[in-house]
Every structure is written in structure tokens, then in C-alpha cells.
Amino acid sequence: MTTNAASEPTGTEDLARYIDHTLLAPAASREDILKLCKEAAEHHFKSVCVNPIWVETAKKALLGSGVLTCTVVGFPLGTHNTDVKVFEARGATMDGADEIDMVINIASARALDRDALVSDISAVAEVVHGEDSLLKVIIETSLLSDAEKVLACEAAVEAGADFVKTSTGFNGGGATASDVALMRQTVGPDIGVKASGGVRSREQALEMIAAGATRIGTSGGIAIVAGGTATSAY
């Protein structure tokens, strides 16, 4: 599966295909999820990203639209045991998730424990890839030093991840162009890089893409493609 775009977007529709239209609020209702899916289909976004409980709802709502269904695992802290992350991932793919965004064990990254990171990620990758789905690995850049970010990205590549991703949007901070550039430099040209957290305008999105992002996670996708600025935090 190709994860790295060949060139920067040249128009609104091209930009839309970078966007994971996201709603991870704990109080989101079924009506909110259906609205999210309708917006994603209308704007031709790459995917919707929802909490696991809404995967089946989103999958059905998006049938025939060409928009993928993405969900999260070990979210938002990454402190679940690996077998719990595996269980979550298996359930999500069985429900129809095309993509899984998992949170690493951040303490392992801060301890520079590469083996623990690889073990955690690879167990989830095996399940996800067994269902022909795609795995993105959230490293939570705001909590890591540059050396720890590099280690986490290297571990994700070694473990078979398809993407590395900056942030959950729930633990402070968010995507920066410098972090995206560092991640791109670390993983090379063939692994996707997802910028998420705080990307609210077209200018910010284009800055992330210029730095090496191949996907943008945001709840402000409509404002971004329209050239405005979203007011949401994610």
C-alpha cells in the first residue's frame, strides 16, 4: 500500500485527499458521526477517524464513497498492555476499520527502550496487516526529545508500521513542521507521516505537507479546504 505522496497538492480536491476527518470527542453521538461521514464523502477526504465504538456505523455510512474508516488503539495514553492493544485492533478490523492509529508506550520511548517499542508495535502490526488494514503509530511528539522521537520512529519502521504520526491531540502540544521534517528524515521516503493536533488552516496544512507529511489529522478539514481557519482544538 502506497503511503507517501509524490507531490504537494495543487488544488482543493488534492488537499482534501490528505485529510483524516476526525471526531474523537468522548461525547460524540451517532448523529455526530453520521454528519462527519457525510462531510467526508462530500469533500472527498481520505478517511474519517472515529473512536472504536463508531467503526461499524462509519463503515456503513461511507459505503461506496471511497472514504476510508480509521480508528484508534491504546488511545490516548498508550499505556494499555500490548495484548489489550492487539485485542482492540482485532476488534476494530473485524468491525471494518481500514486504518488503525495506535499510541506507543511513551515511557518506553523516553527510556530509549527500542526493543519494548518494537515488540508492542509489531504485535499490533501483525493483526492489522493480517486483515489487509494499515497501521499508523502515534509517537506523541510533545512528550519526547528529538532523540526519543527518532528512536520511536525507527522502532515503528522496524516493527512494520505503515505511518508514523505526531500526536493524539489529547496530551498537550501538536504537530509542528520541524517534528514532521525530523520524522520524514528518520523514516525515509516510503513510510507515511501523519501530522495531527492543531492543524487548523490551509496554510498550516500546506506547511506540514511541505515538511514531509502525507496525511493530516484534523477536525477542521472543511475550513482547511475552504481556505479558512477552524476553531476546534484538534
Calpha distance 90→204 (Å, rounded): 34
Catalytic residues: 101, 165, 194
pLDDT of residue 11: 72
Calpha distance 201→81 (Å, rounded): 36
Q: What is the mean pLDDT of residues 150-159?
A: 98
Q: What is the mean pLDDT of residues 133-156?
A: 98
Calpha distance 152→137 (Å, rounded): 9
Question: How far, CA to CA in Å, does 161 sit from each of 101, 126, 128, 149?
Answer: 10, 10, 10, 15
**Are the CB atoms for 45 and 16 separated by under 8 Å?**
yes
Calpha distance 155→117 (Å, rounded): 6
- The confidence band for 231, taking pLDDT boundaries of 50, 70 and 90, is confident
| Rg of the chain over all Cα atoms, to the nearest angstrom | 16
pLDDT of residue 232: 72
Query: What DSSP letter does each residue of 16-47 carry, written as one string?
Result: HTTEEEEE--TT--HHHHHHHHHHHHHHT-SE
Highest mean pLDDT among 88-92, 167-171, 198-202: 88-92
Q: What is the mean pLDDT of residues 78-85?
A: 98
Q: What is the mean pLDDT of residues 79-108?
A: 98
In 3D space, the residue among 228, 227, 192 whose CA is nearest the CA of residue 68 turns out to be 192
Higher pLDDT, 193 or 232: 193
pLDDT of residue 199: 94
Calpha distance 60→80 (Å, rounded): 28
pLDDT of residue 233: 62
The full length of the chain comes to 234
pLDDT of residue 1: 45
Considering the entire predicted model, what is its pTM?
Answer: 0.94
pLDDT of residue 2: 43
Q: What is the mean pLDDT of residues 135-155?
A: 98
pLDDT of residue 13: 76
